[in-house]
Structure 1
Amino acid sequence: MKPTYKTIIQNYFQRFQAEVAMAAFSVKKPGFTEEETPDYYRLWFIHEGEGWLHFNGRRYEGKPGHLFLLPPGANQSYGSMEEQSLSLYWCHFRSAIGDTQLFELLQLPVRVEPPESDYVESLFVAMIDALRSDVFTRKLRVRAALLNIMASYLELCDLSDEAFSGIESLDKIDRVLEYIDLHLSENIGVNELARLAYLHPNYFISVFKNVVGCSPIQYVNLRRLELAKQLLESTDENVSGVAKRVGLQNHYLSRLFKQHTGLSPSRYRQIYRAVPARAQLEIEGSELHS
């Protein structure tokens, strides 16, 4: 996947908002069938037995360890095989407007098979337990379980460049992100970036925020910060030289570092290059016994 597409999708899922409406463990009798057009997302994880799903003109077989993600607004018929029961973990969740469109445009798979099936099952158990509890952290634990299940699902999705190329707004922003990465040491203005996207500056800012999740200038500064971190980690260049290479004055780079890491650039380098605490303890222990 192109680095710019990876940046876009990472920022998108960082902003992903969802609310779990229900989660449970169910056992379906042999020959069970049902047909629905839900207005919510469905996650299914098959525990035992086998089942089937008809969705978008295709039939999918479901076996233990299979994880399904079904978007809202589409007719779905499903059931268990005639000769055996089917047990599965499931949840229903709703997400922000616009998420459905992106899921469809990226052509995400309906079914994946996570290699860590025990881990995925434990996440469903944790979600169900949290939903039934009355602790004040209940919603946090439910959301954490859902996000981890979604991460396991997405890591098995083959998000090719072709999937992104058909999305006009992503194509426009892709050109802009590539330009930013190549010109971080220079002055970069919104008008200049808007021209690359063939958009009016005001409209460009709105499109950029919608795709990337922050304003163009905020993104430029974040990329400069990331490059500065890489230079501090991998080179011996002084902080002034690093600041120049990322297009910032020394004092402004220091201010950015303080805002985002709570450290000065020189302190960040010192900590990054320090011997890990565990390794240091091992070194000291070996010295005592030598």
Structure 2
Amino acid sequence: MKPTYKTIIQNYFHRFQAEVSMAAFSAKKPGFIEEESPDYYRLWFIREGEGWLEYNGRRYVGKPGHLFLLPPGAKQIYGSEEGKSVSLYWCHFRSSIGDNQMFELLQLPVLVEPQESEYLESMFLKMIEAFRSTAFTRKLRIRAALLDIMASYLELCDLSDQVFQGIESLDKIDRVLEYIELHLSENIGVNELARLAYLHPNYFISVFKNVVGSAPIQYVNLRRLEMAKQMLEGTDDSVSTVAKSVGLQNHYLSRLFKQHMGLSPSRYRQIYRAAPIKAQPAIKGSEVQP
């Protein structure tokens, strides 16, 4: 995947917001059939047995370990054959990223086959437990489990460059991101970037923010910060040399570092390069038996 496309998708999922409306485990009897057109996303994780799904003119067979992501809106017919039951963990959630629905934008697959079945089952169990909890932290725990499941799902998706090339707004922004990467050491203005996208500056700012998740100049400074971090980690260049290399004055780079990292550039380098702290031996008698 092109680095600029990777940047776009990372920023999309950085803004990922989801509200789980239901999470549970169900055991379905042999020969059942159901039909729905939900207005929410569905995640199914097959635990035992075998079931089938008809969606968008295609039939899928769900077996133990299979993970399904079903988008809202389209008709879904699902069931099991006579003599075959199926049990599954599942949840419903609503989500959008910017103004685009995630499934439509990325053309995500309906079914993936993870290798980490036990881990995914534990995440669904945690989600269900949190969903039933009355603790004030329940929503945090539900969200944490959902994000973990979604990360496992996305790592199995083949997000090739072709997926992005047919999306006009992404194609325009892709050119802009490539230009930014090549000119981080120079002055970069919004008007200049807008011309690359063939858009009016005001409209360009809106399109850029919707796709990338931040305003153009904010994004430029974040990329400069990332490049500066890499130079501090991998070179012995002075802080002033690093600042010049990323198109910033020394004091402004220091201010950016303190805003985002809570450290000065020199202190960041010192901590990054410090030897890791060795694990301390356990105090005799402190072991806890399983």
TM-score greater than 0.5 by the shorter chain: yes
Residue number in structure 2 paired with 1:104: 104
* Local SS of the residue matching 2:101: helix
- Structure 1 residues 273 and 43 mapped into 2: Cα distance closer, same or farther (>3 Å)? same
Residue number in structure 2 paired with 1:287: none
| Partner Cα separation in structure 1 for residue 277 and residue 85 of structure 2 | 52
Residue number in structure 2 paired with 1:174: 174
Task: Kindly state the Cα deviation for residue 278 of structure 1 after the two structures are TM-superposed.
Answer: 1.6
Residue number in structure 1 paired with 2:137: 137
Structure 2 portions without partners, runs of 5+: 282-290
- Structure 1 residues 235 and 98 mapped into 2: Cα distance closer, same or farther (>3 Å)? closer
| Partner Cα separation in structure 2 for residue 113 and residue 183 of structure 1 | 41
Q: TM-score, normalised by structure 2?
A: 0.95
CA contact (8 A) 1:71 1:100 kept: no
| Partner Cα separation in structure 2 for residue 9 and residue 16 of structure 1 | 10
Task: Kindly state the Cα deviation for residue 100 of structure 1 after the two structures are TM-superposed.
Answer: 5.9
- Structure 1 residues 46 and 100 mapped into 2: Cα distance closer, same or farther (>3 Å)? farther
- Structure 1 residues 134 and 210 mapped into 2: Cα distance closer, same or farther (>3 Å)? same
| Partner Cα separation in structure 1 for residue 100 and residue 226 of structure 2 | 31
- Structure 1 residues 68 and 99 mapped into 2: Cα distance closer, same or farther (>3 Å)? farther
Residue number in structure 1 paired with 2:160: 160
* Local SS of the residue matching 1:231: helix
CA contact (8 A) 1:33 1:80 kept: yes
Residue number in structure 2 paired with 1:211: 211
| Partner Cα separation in structure 2 for residue 269 and residue 106 of structure 1 | 37
| Partner Cα separation in structure 2 for residue 86 and residue 185 of structure 1 | 58
Q: List per-residue Cα deviations over 1:227-250 (Å, max 9, x = no partner).
A: 000000000000000000000000
1:115 alignment partner AA: Q
CA contact (8 A) 2:16 2:97 kept: no
Task: Kindly state the Cα deviation for residue 103 of structure 1 after the two structures are TM-superposed.
Answer: 1.6
| Partner Cα separation in structure 2 for residue 25 and residue 204 of structure 1 | 46
Q: List per-residue Cα deviations over 1:205-253 (Å, max 9, x = no partner).
A: 0000000100000000000000000000000000000000000000000
| Partner Cα separation in structure 2 for residue 268 and residue 151 of structure 1 | 29
Task: Kindly state the Cα deviation for residue 107 of structure 1 after the two structures are TM-superposed.
Answer: 1.5
Task: Kindly state the Cα deviation for residue 95 of structure 1 after the two structures are TM-superposed.
Answer: 1.0
Residue number in structure 2 paired with 1:125: 125
1:242 alignment partner AA: V
* Local SS of the residue matching 2:114: coil
What are the within-5 Å matches in structure 2 for residues 1-290 of structure 1? 1-96=1-96, 101-278=101-278
CA contact (8 A) 2:17 2:97 kept: no
2:206 alignment partner AA: S
Structure with greater helix share of residues? 1
| Partner Cα separation in structure 1 for residue 261 and residue 29 of structure 2 | 54
Q: TM-score, normalised by structure 1?
A: 0.95
CA contact (8 A) 1:12 1:213 kept: yes
Query: Aligned residues, how many?
Result: 281
Q: List per-residue Cα deviations over 1:251-286 (Å, max 9, x = no partner).
A: 00000000011111011111111100127x69xxxx
RMSD: 1.3
- Structure 1 residues 76 and 98 mapped into 2: Cα distance closer, same or farther (>3 Å)? farther
Task: Kindly state the Cα deviation for residue 99 of structure 1 after the two structures are TM-superposed.
Answer: 6.6
Give the % identical residues: 82
CA contact (8 A) 1:27 1:87 kept: yes
- Structure 1 residues 19 and 87 mapped into 2: Cα distance closer, same or farther (>3 Å)? same
Structure 1 portions without partners, runs of 5+: 283-290
CA contact (8 A) 2:51 2:62 kept: yes
| Partner Cα separation in structure 1 for residue 193 and residue 116 of structure 2 | 43
Q: List per-residue Cα deviations over 1:7-33 (Å, max 9, x = no partner).
A: 000000110111000010000000011
Task: Kindly state the Cα deviation for residue 102 of structure 1 after the two structures are TM-superposed.
Answer: 3.8
Q: Which moved more, 1:46-55 or 1:88-97?
A: 88-97
Following TM superposition, where does structure 1 have runs of at least 4 consecutive aligned residues deviating by more than 4 angstroms? 97-100
